[in-house]
Structure 1
Amino acid sequence: MKTLKSHVIIYDEECPMCNLYTSAFVKSGMLDSKGREAYNKIGEDITYRIDKDRARNEIALVDTEGGSVSYGLESLYKIIGHNFPFMWHAFKLKPFHFLLKKLYFFISYNRKVIVPSAESAFNACIPDLNKKYRVAFILFAWIVSALTLNAFSDRLVPLVPASNLLREFLICGGQLIFQGALILYFNKTKIWDYLGNVIAVSLIGSILLMPALCFPYSGDMLSNVGFLGYFLLVVGLLLLEHKRRVNILKLPPALTLGWLGYRLIVLLIIL
């Protein structure tokens, strides 16, 4: 690879996604061995060059010789385009750039609910709350969860009554309303962070259920029991994940009890 020398990319050390792709830039030779620095560890020589507030939301790329700074997609364009010039032109196509920009902000503003991490005591690289992108994430995860559960529910009949898409949408939406009421009672200042984490847990559940949909379904009782067992295993893992996220957010355990209680109530109503 052709190394983009004298450039340092500033990344969120607590974000696995940020760690992964910035590390790939260094390992592949796109950036040199000192071509990345964690946001909370940058020295004064870089600190005065960047807009630290903007760098929390859009990854910064600093030209240590020329002094210029790129942010967000422009940083990625510059690194990738240095090795693949034709990609630079593709990135600049307005429709493509528009979609990439929306996707970038969708991930960047929601990265702490997609993969949560404990808040650092000092100089944390925490993105601003952007309600538009948080609502977009909640809607996206809600739709994916409802579609996946509706598809998976067919494999549980007759152990569980047949479902339909409307029912699954209402169940997923009801969980958000129920947990939203609880977080308003316990700590309304964290409602957007908590709801983002709640729906992220549902999205994780959908991802875990999707591989099972690829297995052949015979419709006999043994097959039904197997799928039900897998579903209960996933629910158990989600319960643990919800508990972990509640601890990270420093919220009361009652929220996890509420999450479990809602699902038990829904199950009793369905049965």
Structure 2
Amino acid sequence: MRTLSNHIILYDAECPMCRLYTGAFVRNGLLDSNGREAYQQYSGTACTNLDWQRAVNEIALVNQATGEVTYGVESLLKVCGNALPRLAPLFRWKPLLWVASKAYAFISYNRRVIVPAPASETPFHYQPSFNVRYRVAWLLFSWILTSCILASYTGVLTVFLTKSSYWREFTICGGQIFFQAAVIFSYKKEKAWDYLGNMMTVSLAGALALLHFLLLCVWLNLGWLACALFFLLTVFLMLLEHMRRCKLLGIGYLMTASWVLYRIVILVILFSLKP
């Protein structure tokens, strides 16, 4: 693979995902050893026409010789196209660019709720913009995927619960979103969208853990008891992660209390429906 020399990619130092993939570019020789820098530390002397807000929202790639800047998915595809020249025409194909740009924006505008960073005492004067469309898209994506996984997993817990369906899990997950939204919008409206994004990341992470264990149960033919114990362990870990994220957001324990209350009420209802 060829190295894209004399270029520097500007990443978000507060984003673990950004640190990971830009570091991989350098380690694998796609960029020079000094080919990345956190935008929080970048002086900008080599590129006076840098759009700082756009660079914060969409990762910027600066040509240090000419001062040319590309942003977002174009930056990533430029690095990959240089490393894999045979695929460069594919990376310039407009339908692929459109899909990739939407996927990139979906992740980029939600990166702080997918993997949150500790609050800084001296935050950088440019912060990622909030885009309500992509936040709602994240909530819907997590809602649908979590519902599908839970509908499959609760099928192995029919000793305790009535047989599940996708629509039941979809309703329960959606009810949690609307219930928590009502609480957070009346409690701390300015943190509402950040909280809801974090909450659904916790739900999705828990569902993905259950999916992996469900596949293991099928492969090893484990019984309902193992599935029930792992379900309880997953809920406990989700509770801890929910509390951690609420602490990072600075919203105290009220949202965790309402999160637990909703789940207890739903569990009581489900137990009461069991013949």
Shorter-chain TM-score bucket reads over 0.9
Task: Say whether the 8 Å CA contact 2:47–2:67 is kept in structure 1.
Answer: no
Q: Which residue of 2 aligns with 1:149?
A: 150
Please report how far the alpha carbon of residue 85 of structure 1 lies from its aligned counterpart in structure 2 after TM superposition. 1.7
Q: Which residue of 2 aligns with 1:160?
A: 161
Task: Say whether the 8 Å CA contact 2:11–2:36 is kept in structure 1.
Answer: yes
Q: Which residue of 1 aligns with 2:109?
A: 109
Structure 2 distance, partners of 1:126, 1:162, is: 46
Q: Which residue of 2 aligns with 1:128?
A: 129
Structure 1 distance, partners of 2:12, 2:184, is: 28
Please report how far the alpha carbon of residue 49 of structure 1 lies from its aligned counterpart in structure 2 after TM superposition. 3.6
TM-score (norm 1): 0.95
**Cα pair distance change 1:195/1:46, threshold 3 Å:** farther
Question: Deviation above 4 Å: which 4+ runs of structure 1?
Answer: none
Task: Say whether the 8 Å CA contact 1:159–1:224 is kept in structure 2.
Answer: no
Q: Give deviations 1:154-174, integer Å, cap 9, x for gaps.
A: 111122222111110110001
Structure 1 distance, partners of 2:13, 2:265, is: 40
Please report how far the alpha carbon of residue 132 of structure 1 lies from its aligned counterpart in structure 2 after TM superposition. 0.8
Task: Say whether the 8 Å CA contact 2:53–2:127 is kept in structure 1.
Answer: no
Q: How many residues align?
A: 269
Please report how far the alpha carbon of residue 95 of structure 1 lies from its aligned counterpart in structure 2 after TM superposition. 1.7
Please report how far the alpha carbon of residue 119 of structure 1 lies from its aligned counterpart in structure 2 after TM superposition. 3.1
Please report how far the alpha carbon of residue 64 of structure 1 lies from its aligned counterpart in structure 2 after TM superposition. 1.0
Structure 1 distance, partners of 2:168, 2:150, is: 10
Structure 2 distance, partners of 1:41, 1:217, is: 50
**129-138 vs 117-126, which moves further:** 117-126
TM-score (norm 2): 0.93
Residue 187 (1) aligns with residue 204 (2):
no
Q: Report the 3-state secondary structure (helix = DSSP H, G, I; strand = E; otherwise coil) of the residue aligned with 1:9.
A: strand
**257-266 vs 44-53, which moves further:** 44-53
Q: Give deviations 1:196-246, integer Å, cap 9, x for gaps.
A: 11111110011111111213459x9x8111111100000000000000110
Please report how far the alpha carbon of residue 96 of structure 1 lies from its aligned counterpart in structure 2 after TM superposition. 1.4
Structure 1 distance, partners of 2:128, 2:4, is: 27
Q: Report the 3-state secondary structure (helix = DSSP H, G, I; strand = E; otherwise coil) of the residue aligned with 2:40.
A: helix
**Cα pair distance change 1:266/1:54, threshold 3 Å:** same
Structure 1 distance, partners of 2:217, 2:115, is: 32
Structure 1 distance, partners of 2:34, 2:125, is: 21
Task: Say whether the 8 Å CA contact 1:4–1:79 is kept in structure 2.
Answer: yes
Q: Which residue of 1 aligns with 2:76?
A: 76
Task: Say whether the 8 Å CA contact 1:39–1:125 is kept in structure 2.
Answer: no
Amino acid at match of 1:153: T
Q: Which residue of 2 aligns with 1:264?
A: 264
Amino acid at match of 2:10: I
Amino acid at match of 1:239: L
Please report how far the alpha carbon of residue 51 of structure 1 lies from its aligned counterpart in structure 2 after TM superposition. 0.8
Residue 226 (1) aligns with residue 193 (2):
no
Structure 2 distance, partners of 1:139, 1:86, is: 37
Q: Which residue of 1 aligns with 2:94?
A: 94
Q: Report the 3-state secondary structure (helix = DSSP H, G, I; strand = E; otherwise coil) of the residue aligned with 1:40.
A: coil
Please report how far the alpha carbon of residue 65 of structure 1 lies from its aligned counterpart in structure 2 after TM superposition. 1.2
Residue 32 (1) aligns with residue 38 (2):
no
Percent of matched pairs sharing the same residue:
45
Please report how far the alpha carbon of residue 126 of structure 1 lies from its aligned counterpart in structure 2 after TM superposition. 3.5
Amino acid at match of 1:162: K
Amino acid at match of 1:261: L
Q: Which runs of 5+ in 2 are unaligned?
A: none
Amino acid at match of 1:186: Y
Q: Report the 3-state secondary structure (helix = DSSP H, G, I; strand = E; otherwise coil) of the residue aligned with 2:177.
A: helix
Q: Which residue of 2 aligns with 1:251?
A: 251
Q: Report the 3-state secondary structure (helix = DSSP H, G, I; strand = E; otherwise coil) of the residue aligned with 2:9.
A: strand
**Cα pair distance change 1:249/1:46, threshold 3 Å:** farther
Structure 2 distance, partners of 1:207, 1:46, is: 44
Structure 2 distance, partners of 1:224, 1:79, is: 49
Q: Report the 3-state secondary structure (helix = DSSP H, G, I; strand = E; otherwise coil) of the residue aligned with 1:62.
A: strand
Structure 1 distance, partners of 2:189, 2:46, is: 37
